[in-house]
Amino acid sequence: MDKRAPHLTGKRRSSQPRVCVLDATNLKTKLELTLPSKIEAISPAVKRIMRLLKKESCAPEHEFAVETALQEALANAILHGNRLEPGKKVHVCCACDSVQGVLIIVQDEGEGLILRRSRAHFLARESILKGGVEFS
Protein backbone atom coordinates (compact mmCIF):
# COMPACT_ATOMS: atom_id res chain seq x y z
CA MET A 1 0.00 0.00 0.00
CA ASP A 2 1.32 3.44 -0.95
CA LYS A 3 1.79 5.58 2.19
CA ARG A 4 2.09 8.83 0.26
CA ALA A 5 -0.45 11.60 0.60
CA PRO A 6 -2.54 11.53 -2.61
CA HIS A 7 -2.13 15.25 -3.27
CA LEU A 8 1.66 15.09 -2.78
CA THR A 9 2.56 12.11 -4.94
CA GLY A 10 3.22 14.02 -8.14
CA LYS A 11 1.04 11.49 -9.94
CA ARG A 12 -1.72 12.64 -12.21
CA ARG A 13 -5.28 11.93 -11.29
CA SER A 14 -7.20 10.95 -14.38
CA SER A 15 -9.43 14.03 -14.18
CA GLN A 16 -6.62 16.44 -13.26
CA PRO A 17 -4.04 17.64 -15.82
CA ARG A 18 -0.37 17.92 -14.78
CA VAL A 19 0.07 21.49 -15.99
CA CYS A 20 -1.40 24.49 -14.20
CA VAL A 21 -4.94 25.46 -15.02
CA LEU A 22 -6.28 28.75 -13.68
CA ASP A 23 -9.67 30.37 -14.04
CA ALA A 24 -8.84 33.55 -15.96
CA THR A 25 -12.17 35.24 -15.23
CA ASN A 26 -10.82 37.69 -12.65
CA LEU A 27 -7.10 37.51 -13.35
CA LYS A 28 -5.22 40.63 -14.25
CA THR A 29 -2.13 38.79 -15.46
CA LYS A 30 -1.23 35.20 -16.18
CA LEU A 31 2.21 33.69 -16.86
CA GLU A 32 3.21 30.06 -17.26
CA LEU A 33 6.82 28.81 -17.29
CA THR A 34 8.45 25.41 -17.53
CA LEU A 35 11.92 25.14 -16.05
CA PRO A 36 14.61 22.50 -16.25
CA SER A 37 15.67 20.86 -12.98
CA LYS A 38 18.76 23.04 -12.66
CA ILE A 39 19.63 25.45 -9.87
CA GLU A 40 20.74 27.96 -12.53
CA ALA A 41 17.13 28.19 -13.76
CA ILE A 42 15.86 29.71 -10.49
CA SER A 43 17.23 33.24 -10.72
CA PRO A 44 16.07 34.02 -14.29
CA ALA A 45 12.59 32.65 -13.55
CA VAL A 46 12.27 34.68 -10.34
CA LYS A 47 13.47 37.84 -12.11
CA ARG A 48 10.98 37.35 -14.94
CA ILE A 49 8.04 36.77 -12.61
CA MET A 50 8.95 39.64 -10.27
CA ARG A 51 9.38 42.00 -13.24
CA LEU A 52 5.85 41.11 -14.35
CA LEU A 53 4.39 41.52 -10.84
CA LYS A 54 6.06 44.92 -10.42
CA LYS A 55 4.87 46.08 -13.84
CA GLU A 56 1.29 45.11 -12.97
CA SER A 57 1.51 46.47 -9.39
CA CYS A 58 0.57 43.11 -7.90
CA ALA A 59 1.03 43.16 -4.11
CA PRO A 60 3.62 45.97 -4.16
CA GLU A 61 3.81 46.02 -0.35
CA HIS A 62 4.77 42.32 -0.29
CA GLU A 63 7.31 42.07 -3.13
CA PHE A 64 10.17 40.87 -0.91
CA ALA A 65 8.01 38.17 0.72
CA VAL A 66 6.70 36.97 -2.66
CA GLU A 67 10.20 36.88 -4.14
CA THR A 68 11.60 34.96 -1.16
CA ALA A 69 8.74 32.44 -1.17
CA LEU A 70 9.11 31.94 -4.92
CA GLN A 71 12.87 31.32 -4.66
CA GLU A 72 12.30 28.77 -1.88
CA ALA A 73 9.49 27.00 -3.72
CA LEU A 74 11.54 26.68 -6.90
CA ALA A 75 14.62 25.47 -5.00
CA ASN A 76 12.53 22.88 -3.15
CA ALA A 77 10.90 21.67 -6.37
CA ILE A 78 14.24 21.33 -8.17
CA LEU A 79 16.32 19.92 -5.30
CA HIS A 80 13.85 17.86 -3.29
CA GLY A 81 10.99 17.19 -5.70
CA ASN A 82 12.86 16.48 -8.93
CA ARG A 83 16.20 15.72 -7.23
CA LEU A 84 18.04 17.57 -10.03
CA GLU A 85 17.02 14.86 -12.51
CA PRO A 86 17.61 16.31 -16.00
CA GLY A 87 14.52 14.71 -17.54
CA LYS A 88 12.14 16.28 -15.03
CA LYS A 89 10.68 19.79 -15.24
CA VAL A 90 9.22 22.34 -12.85
CA HIS A 91 6.01 24.06 -13.91
CA VAL A 92 5.23 27.55 -12.63
CA CYS A 93 1.95 29.40 -13.02
CA CYS A 94 1.63 32.97 -11.83
CA ALA A 95 -1.51 35.08 -11.73
CA CYS A 96 -2.45 38.44 -10.34
CA ASP A 97 -5.98 39.21 -9.19
CA SER A 98 -6.81 42.86 -8.72
CA VAL A 99 -8.60 42.08 -5.44
CA GLN A 100 -6.98 38.91 -4.07
CA GLY A 101 -3.32 39.62 -4.90
CA VAL A 102 -0.79 37.11 -6.24
CA LEU A 103 -1.23 33.41 -6.89
CA ILE A 104 1.85 31.34 -7.73
CA ILE A 105 1.69 27.58 -8.29
CA VAL A 106 4.91 25.56 -8.45
CA GLN A 107 4.63 21.90 -9.51
CA ASP A 108 7.47 19.43 -9.75
CA GLU A 109 7.50 15.97 -11.32
CA GLY A 110 8.93 14.21 -8.27
CA GLU A 111 7.68 11.08 -6.55
CA GLY A 112 5.99 12.89 -3.68
CA LEU A 113 6.29 12.95 0.06
CA ILE A 114 6.30 9.71 2.02
CA LEU A 115 4.33 10.55 5.16
CA ARG A 116 5.89 7.96 7.46
CA ARG A 117 9.39 9.30 6.81
CA SER A 118 8.21 12.90 7.15
CA ARG A 119 6.46 12.23 10.46
CA ALA A 120 9.59 10.58 11.87
CA HIS A 121 11.68 13.54 10.73
CA PHE A 122 9.22 15.97 12.34
CA LEU A 123 9.22 14.05 15.62
CA ALA A 124 13.04 13.95 15.64
CA ARG A 125 13.19 17.70 15.13
CA GLU A 126 10.48 18.25 17.76
CA SER A 127 12.59 16.36 20.31
CA ILE A 128 15.34 18.98 20.06
CA LEU A 129 13.08 21.89 20.93
CA LYS A 130 14.30 23.63 24.07
CA GLY A 131 12.20 26.34 25.67
CA GLY A 132 10.49 27.34 22.42
CA VAL A 133 13.76 27.72 20.48
CA GLU A 134 14.56 25.13 17.83
CA PHE A 135 18.16 24.04 17.36
CA SER A 136 18.80 22.30 14.05
CA 71 from centroid of its chain's CA atoms: 9
Do residues 54 and 64 make contact, with C-beta atoms less than 8 angstroms apart?
A: no
What's the pLDDT score for residue 60?
A: 85
Going by C-alpha positions, the residue among 81, 94, 97, 85 that lies closest to residue 36 is 85
Per residue in 22-56, pLDDT (tens digit) is: 566 667 668 899 999 999 999 999 999 999 888 88
What's the pLDDT score for residue 117?
A: 55
Do residues 74 and 117 make contact, with C-beta atoms less than 8 angstroms apart?
A: no
CB-based contacts of 119: which residues, under 8 Å, 6+ apart?
A: none
pLDDT classification of 127: cutoffs 50, 70, 90: very low
Going by C-alpha positions, the residue among 16, 38, 14, 39 that lies closest to residue 105 is 16
Mean pLDDT for the stretch of residues 131-136: 39
Domains, the chain, ordered by start: 22-134 (3.30.565.10)
Per residue in 62-115, pLDDT (tens digit) is: 899 999 999 999 999 999 999 999 999 999 999 886 566 788 999 999 987 665
CA-CA-CA-CA torsion sign (9, 11, 12, 13): negative
